[in-house]
Structure 1
Amino acid sequence: MARTILVFYGSYRRDRQGIKLADWIVEALRARGDDATLIDARAVDLPILDRRHSDYPPGEAPAAMAALAATIAAADGFVFVVGEYNGGLQPGLKNLVDHYLPEFAWRPAAIASYSAGPFAGVRSATAWRTTLGAMGMVVTSTALSLARIGGAFDTDGRPAGEDGVRLDRAFPRFADDLAWWIDAAAAQRAKAAPPY
């Protein structure tokens, strides 16, 4: 059974490196038979948060915002590919997700973190765990963390070097955990809709 999984990425930087990880995760999920789609905050380009999607009367939200709301609401689960900016959240990704709330409810999320240095974005992953939980998502226990992202992929976008090998080895458990929670959440949503 193909699961619909959205892979969120949020860097706006000119020489962004995390897009390599986000693209690789999309392809790795597709190779497992899932319907995976990249949601790139820079490409969606929502304005700095003024009104959430749910703040607009039906049919009055900007077209890009409404289209993404429908896409999120139709998804089975999510992967958040998160870099670490000064020990915290990427502002572009945080701004994107803050436009939505009920669309994320009662669905699982997995976190894949990265950094240019040796710590693999773990402080950002910790902050995202709290944020995603507050938004009504169940965050899976198996994280994916990638250090030294600049050298972790070859020119064809495949994992390379010691960090890339670790990524390749860790991915199956990461994806299996997300798949289990997607199936469990779908069964529960079939019994009762979220109360908000």
Structure 2
Amino acid sequence: MTSKPRIGVIISSTRDSRFADKPAQWILEKAKAKDWDVELVDIKDFDLPFFNEPASNAWMPSSDPAAIKWQEKIATFDGFIFVLAEYNHSITGALKNALDQAYVEWNRKAYGVVGYGGVGAARAAEHLRTIGVELQMASTRSGVYIGGGDFIAIHPLGQQNKPMSDIEGSIGPSAGAMLDELDWWTRATMAARG
């Protein structure tokens, strides 16, 4: 463990037509301004199969090479920022599967969220919090929820396709709060794990 936290910014949508890249790049730049090593992690790059192990890796090692590669990547981080799409009031199936493919690698680590959609993925974020409890993770109180008019303004299908900087006034303060809380929780969990 190093004294400088390693933070993974995880893109949770794997759809070809996803919107996630725009807010992911925005929060990645904000995270790089912290005293962290930050890396963008795209679930799409890992080609994870549906979870099919005899048990969680909390109980026995995984056998699927893709799952093991994913676990090894997640293990390198001290905290996470999940860039959340909301599908049917929940997280994406791809994210749920990715969470299930690891267990011990998530334990006792902190995370924050950047959600987007009609209600800013607030329901997905709340669902992620219940999953995070089972994974023994610490969630920040604050999150970034890009919804309503802000979402329409920056989304290409909203026909405005404005840059993220155009909505900075409404989401910037929540991003700052989430990042500050993530810094505190990440350093606290790093110290406790150490």
SS in 2 for 1:14: coil
Q: Could you tell which deviates more after superposition, 181-190 or 28-37? A: 28-37
Distance in 2 (alpha carbons) for counterparts of 1:188 and 1:56: 24
**Contact 2:83/2:115 (8 A) holds in 1:** yes
Amino acid at match of 1:29: A
Q: Does 1:123 align with 2:123?
A: yes
Which segments of 5 or more consecutive residues in structure 1 lack a partner in the other structure? 191-196
Cα deviations by residue, 1:49-85 (Å, 9 ceiling, x for unpaired): 1126727658x540x4323312212211111111111
Structure 1 outlier segments of 4+, above 4 Å: 55-58, 153-158
Alignment partners' CA distance in 2, 1:76 and 1:153: 31
Q: 2:165 aligns with which of 160, 164, 167?
A: 160
Mapping 1:33-182, distance limit 5 Å: 33-51=35-53, 54=57, 57=61, 60-62=63-65, 64-115=66-117, 117=118, 119-147=119-147, 148-152=150-154, 158-161=163-166, 163-182=167-186
How far residue 142 of structure 1 moved from its aligned partner, in angstroms, is 1.2
Q: 1:15 to 1:103 in 2, by over 3 A?
A: same
From 17, 31, 39, the equivalent of 1:15 is 17
Asked whether the 8 Å contact 1:153–1:160 carries over to 2, the reply is no
Task: From the superposition, tell whether residues 57 and 129 of structure 1 become closer, same or farther in structure 2 (CA, over 3 Å).
Answer: closer
Q: Which moved more, 1:134-143 or 1:12-21?
A: 12-21
1:17, 1:150 within 8 Å by CA — same for their partners in 2?
no
Over the aligned positions, Cα root-mean-square deviation in angstroms equals 2.5
TM-score normalised by L of structure 2 = 0.84
Work out the CA distance in 2 between the residues paired with 1:181 and 1:189: 12
Q: Distance in 1 between matches of 2:146 and 2:8?
A: 20
Aligned residues: 185
1:17 touches 1:149 (CA, 8 Å); kept in 2? no
Q: Secondary structure at the match of 2:83?
A: strand
